[in-house]
Structure 1
Amino acid sequence: MQVDFYQLTLRPLERALPQIAEKVLAGGTRLLVVAADARQRAALDRMLWTYAPESFLPHGQAGGGDEAAQPVLIAEHPVAANGATMIALVDGEWRDAALGFDRAFHFFDDGSIAAARDAWKALAEREGVERRYWKQTERGWEQAA
């Protein structure tokens, strides 16, 4: 199980998440996007339709019907109603349920850096968990740990 920590410093989640989602879908897998706040989920739903004029990222929200058919599903809880094997935690909050997926993307900003550090340390003690830390640079994402 792999957990990728993405610290948002130069670009916001609205620019980083679509890149990850596109790569997940290109690899033939599905993604669950988790955020506790309903307003954030609604904003992500709108953003995934409009983030780039030339792009289309098929997705839906949990509770909207046809969850099982959604390649990308936005949800409040880490329950993969779409059969996702990868999860993106986008509100800065780590959830141990993410360890039930093949891969987790944990996005956090300066406001949630202390919690991300705690999660990083706690995951170091878990057997079978590979952690990676990605930082933003002017050239894009670079693996730092």
Structure 2
Amino acid sequence: MQTDFYLLEQGGPERALAPLAGKVLAVGGRLLVVAEEAAERQRLSQALWQASGTSFLANDVAGGAHDARQPILISDRIEPANQARFLALADGIWREPDAGAFDRVLLVFGQTGREAARETWRLLKSREGWECRFFRQEQGRWQQAG
């Protein structure tokens, strides 16, 4: 399984998630976004709907009648009702996903979550079959740093 670590240099996950989600959709994928707090889930949903002036990233917060149809589903738990193969942990909190359920996990974290992300990196690097990559924002774009 591949895990990509995304360090937020500025702004919150609601600003940083749109380009990542756009890339997932561009390859025909579906995304499950997980955040613990309800207010954060609503901010993420709103930001995706308003991703740019001419387009949007269709999504919904889990628990509705049409969860299975959503290209991006936002939830407080790792339950891909939309059959997502990509998982974004938007609140920076590592949750142990079923290794076979996802092709890629995106861990989005800020400065306050940096030490926890380092611990997660060390944990995953010690496991067979896990690949880790690190990205940071440079001039508003994600650049692989390690």
Q: TM-score range by the shorter chain?
A: over 0.9
8 Å contact kept, 2:3–2:107: yes
TM-score (norm 1): 0.94
| Structure 2 letter corresponding to 1:30 | R
Which residue number in structure 1 is paired with residue 3 of structure 2? 3
Q: CA RMSD in A?
A: 1.3
Q: Is 2:68–2:81's contact at 8 Å kept on the other side of the alignment?
A: yes
1:24 aligned to 2:24?
A: yes
Q: SS of 2:14's equivalent?
A: helix
| Mapping for residues 109-128 of structure 1, pairs under 5 Å | 109-128=110-129
Comparing 28-37 and 41-50, the one that deviates more: 41-50
Give the % identical residues: 45
1:1-49 superposed Cα distances (whole Å, 9 cap, x missing partner):
1100000003432222110111101101100000011110011111111
After superposition, where does 1:65-76 map in structure 2 within 5 Å?
65-76=65-76
Query: Per-residue CA shift, 1:111-135, capped at 9, x if unaligned?
Result: 1111101100000111111100001
* Cα distance in 1, alignment partners of residues 77 and 132 from structure 2: 22
Name the amino acid aligned to 1:40: E
1:46 maps to which residue? 46
Alignment of structure 1 residues 93-108 onto 2, 5 Å:
93-97=93-97, 99=99, 100-108=101-109
Q: Which runs of 5+ in 1 are unaligned?
A: none
Partner Cα separation in structure 1 for residue 104 and residue 51 of structure 2: 24
Structure 2 runs not aligned, ≥5 long? none
> How many residues were matched structurally?
145
1:15 aligns with 2:15: yes
Q: TM-score, normalised by structure 2?
A: 0.94
Q: Is the 8 A contact 1:10 1:137 kept in 2?
A: no
Q: Does the residue aligned with 2:135 lie in a helix, a strand or coil?
A: strand
Q: Report the AA paired with residue 70 of structure 2.
A: Q
Find the aligned partners of 1:68 and 1:139 in 2 and give their Cα distance. 32
The structure in which a higher percent of residues are helix is: 1
